[in-house]
Amino acid sequence: MILTVTLNTALDVTYRVPRLLAHASHRVTEVTERPGGKGLNVARVLAAIGHEVTATGFAGGPTGHLVRELLASASPGVRDELVPCAGTTRRTLAVVDEASGDTTQFNEPGPLITAAEWSVFLSRYEALLTGGARAVALCGSLPPGVPVGAYATLVRAARAAGVPVLLDTSGEALRRGVAARPDVIKPNAAELAELTGSRDPLPATRDARRRGAHAVVTSLGPAGLLAATALGTWRAAPPRTLTGNPTGAGDSAVAGLLSALTEGLAWPDRLTRAVALSAATVTSPTAGAFDPHTYEEVRGSVKVTEGA
């Protein structure tokens, strides 16, 4: 079983409009709703590619209730171990401009998590780690009330249980989490620059390893992934630039990395799967899903270069 953690879950709402214009009214041509937050996106992709997956984190209020309903009905293969909270789960709104293919994103803040709710979550998390987890993904922002060092605590718990852990967050939560020595971190270029102070991805990726991460995989947007590990450095790029909705593309990359890790694949194969899933997510019409045809097409054409 692969465990995903989404402390700041969301209801992802996607609107499609013919053209997005400032200061104008818009007729929405299509609306979709699905469970969201980075870890739930990761869980959905993992289940879609055949892995047993359990999702934990927080869910509360009417929005949280809808997230759990949709998780049960529209996310087959994802086991729900979300912890109830008194606050209301946030919503995120993605507006897709059909004329340009661009997406505009609006993210609400999360619910206030109490100390008692955090304590309940920690007990649930530790039980899941020792209950058969083969790997864990810690993903996304921290809701209000959760300690800023929360991910460092969760990384240490995973390492104590002997479970490989991937961390995908940003800011101070990432800075503190890296110091706890996760097996993998997956920042994007901007998050990596904030962590290290360098805007050159290659030395910044290596610097992030020196700060504690055993391996660093950096998202370079349409250019693919850059990985620095104890075994070497690689760049992996899709065969062509793909346009569409990038929401969830990084989460699909996490699913690719984590699934390949549990299968014992070598780093070039992990990166190939991650790039192909990420690219296939961009071409999907719905945030947090991937297009199987694009996945198969790209997977056979990913260019992986060693010693980048």
| Residue 300 confidence (pLDDT) | 84
Q: Please report the pLDDT score of residue 240 as a whole number.
A: 79
Which of 35-49, 175-189, 208-222, 274-288 is the least confident region?
A: 274-288
Query: Which among 12, 168, 251, 291 is annotated as catalytic?
Result: 251
pLDDT of 167 reads 98
Per-residue confidence (pLDDT) for residue 295, from 0 to 100: 81
Mean pLDDT of the chain: 92
**pLDDT class of 211 with cuts at 50, 70, 90:** very high
pLDDT digits over 220-241, tens only? 988 899 999 999 999 998 887 7
pLDDT value at residue 288: 63
- pLDDT of 252-269, one tens digit each? 999 999 999 999 999 999
Query: pLDDT tens across 265-287, in order?
Result: 999 999 999 999 998 888 776 65
Q: Is the pLDDT of residue 61 over 70?
A: yes
Kindly indicate the confidence band of residue 242, based on its pLDDT and cuts at 50, 70 and 90: confident
Least confident of 64-73, 176-185, 238-247, 273-282: 238-247
Mean pLDDT, rounded, for 2-18:
94
- Span 79-127, pLDDT tens digits: 999 999 999 999 999 898 888 878 888 999 899 999 999 999 999 999 9
Q: Which residue has better confidence, 223 or 174?
A: 174
This model's pTM is above 0.85: yes
Q: Does the structure show a pLDDT above 90 at 248?
A: no
Q: Is 207 a catalytic residue?
A: no
**What was the pLDDT predicted at 66?**
96
Per residue, the 3-state secondary structure of the chain, as one string, reads CEEEEECCCEEEEEEEECCCCCCCCCCCCEEEEEEECHHHHHHHHHHHCCCCEEEEEEECHHHHHHHHHHHHHHCCCEEEEEEECCCCCEEEEEEEECCCCCEEEEECCCCCCCHHHHHHHHHHHHHHHCCCCCEEEEECCCCCCCCCCHHHHHHHHHHHCCCCEEEECCHHHHHHHHHCCCCEECCEHHHHHHHHCCCCHHHHHHHHHHCCCCEEEEECHHHCEEEEECCEEEEEECCCCCCCCCCCHHHHHHHHHHHHHHCCCCHHHHHHHHHHHHHHHHCCCCCCCCCHHHHHHHHCCCEEEECC
